[in-house]
Structure 1
Amino acid sequence: MFDRVLGIPAHPLYIHAAVVLVPLLVLTAVLYAVWPASRRHTRWPLVVFALAAPGATFFAKESGETFSANRAFQAPQMKALIAQHEVYADRLFLFVFLLTLVALVMAFMIPATAGGRVWIKAPSAAHWAAAVLAVVLSGASMYYCYRTGDSGAHMAWSGF
């Protein structure tokens, strides 16, 4: 499952889902956190992206580990570059997972409309804490999404 898809290496295919879904999760989480008027429209996309982005990131990370075992990537210089790329990917997965948890809590704790129903009852301070945490985790997720993608692209396109 993590090695090949229809005979093609899976990693280059799976990373495209993560590259699209992580920024969409970040965008909707930040919008939901800081712009109350957007909540009515972004609650369910936030939930969908919060469920899809960590899955895409996990598939990209696991397929990358399988891909790096290819004997074409066993040179010491390449192994060092792959090790750094894996560090970025591990951190990306951690931050996306944490953002997912905060986004789901936020989606069900902060009402989408002024008189809206919430599933998680919490004081106003918890709403602010979740919103601030969502923005901070969004920034970290985007940073590691960029660093992971940039390091992988340099390996693929710059002659290692």
Structure 2
Amino acid sequence: MFQYILGIPAHPLIVHFAIVFVVLLVAGSAVYALVPPVRRRTGWAVGLLAVAGPIAAWVGTESGEQLEKLVVAQGYPQEFLAKINQHVTYGDRTWYFSLGLGAATLLLIFVSTAIGKRPAAEGDSRRGSLIANVGLGLVVLVLAGFTGYYIFKTGDTGAHLRWVDFAQK
């Protein structure tokens, strides 16, 4: 399913969707968490990215697994395969962290939207809602940091495989 597009391995083409959507998710979720005044205008876009980013990352890892099988079948040297394995590890972590970031971002959107729509009852300080909002914001920021790190490491190791290690083979 994710092996070839127009006769070439699909991974180099598909992975660019993951790069774009995951990086936009990292940036959008961080802005959403840090700048409450923009939430009303950006919530829908960040919500879409919270779904699209992890899906794109998963499709990227699946296409990468197909490419890895192709490279193994072609008998590449063990040291090259070890570098591919490191790239795969970073790709898997990118997917896991983007999935967590997407879920936490959707929860933050839900909580922050619910706070804005809830009428203030007499004697209600909304303290619990504020704590949940700030706490989720911090979780989103931490997950955005890890996701950003792993998308960078995945891309960096993949680029080195293509442009440095593969070119020397």
Pairwise same-fold verdict (TM > 0.5): yes
The one-letter code sitting in structure 2 at the alignment partner of 1:146 is F
> Normalized against structure 2, the TM-score is what?
0.86
Which of 145, 154, 159 aligns to 1:139? It is: 145
Deviations 1:87-144 (A, max 9, x none): 10111111000001101001111139xx8337xx962211111100000000100000
Aligned mates of 2:75, 2:54 — CA distance in 1 = 26
Q: What does residue 99 of structure 1 align with? A: 101
Are 2:88 and 1:86 equivalent residues in the alignment? yes
**Match of 1:111, SS?**
helix
The one-letter code sitting in structure 1 at the alignment partner of 2:53 is A
Q: What does residue 10 of structure 2 align with? A: 10
**Match of 1:74, SS?**
coil
**Would you say the 8 A contact 1:98–1:137 is kept in 2?**
yes
State the 1:73 CA deviation: 5.7
Aligned mates of 2:117, 2:133 — CA distance in 1 = 14
Indicate the structure (1 or 2) with the bigger Cα radius of gyration: 2
**Would you say the 8 A contact 1:73–1:79 is kept in 2?**
no
**Match of 2:49, SS?**
helix
Aligned mates of 1:63, 1:3 — CA distance in 2 = 6
Aligned mates of 2:74, 2:45 — CA distance in 1 = 40
**Match of 2:117, SS?**
coil
Aligned mates of 2:65, 2:10 — CA distance in 1 = 11
**Would you say the 8 A contact 1:85–1:151 is kept in 2?**
yes
**Structure 2: segments with no counterpart, 5+ residues:** 119-125
Answer 1 or 2: which has greater helix percent.
2
Runs of 4 or more, structure 1, over 3 Å off, are none
Q: What does residue 55 of structure 1 align with? A: 55
Aligned mates of 1:66, 1:6 — CA distance in 2 = 15
State the 1:68 CA deviation: 0.8
Identity %: 38
**Structure 1: segments with no counterpart, 5+ residues:** none
The one-letter code sitting in structure 1 at the alignment partner of 2:97 is F
**Match of 2:51, SS?**
helix
State the 1:159 CA deviation: 2.8
**Match of 2:116, SS?**
coil
**Which stretch of structure 1 is more off in the superposition, 42-51 or 2-11?**
2-11
> Normalized against structure 1, the TM-score is what?
0.91
The one-letter code sitting in structure 2 at the alignment partner of 1:85 is H
Aligned mates of 2:133, 2:15 — CA distance in 1 = 33
Aligned mates of 2:162, 2:36 — CA distance in 1 = 42
Cα RMSD, aligned residues only: 1.8
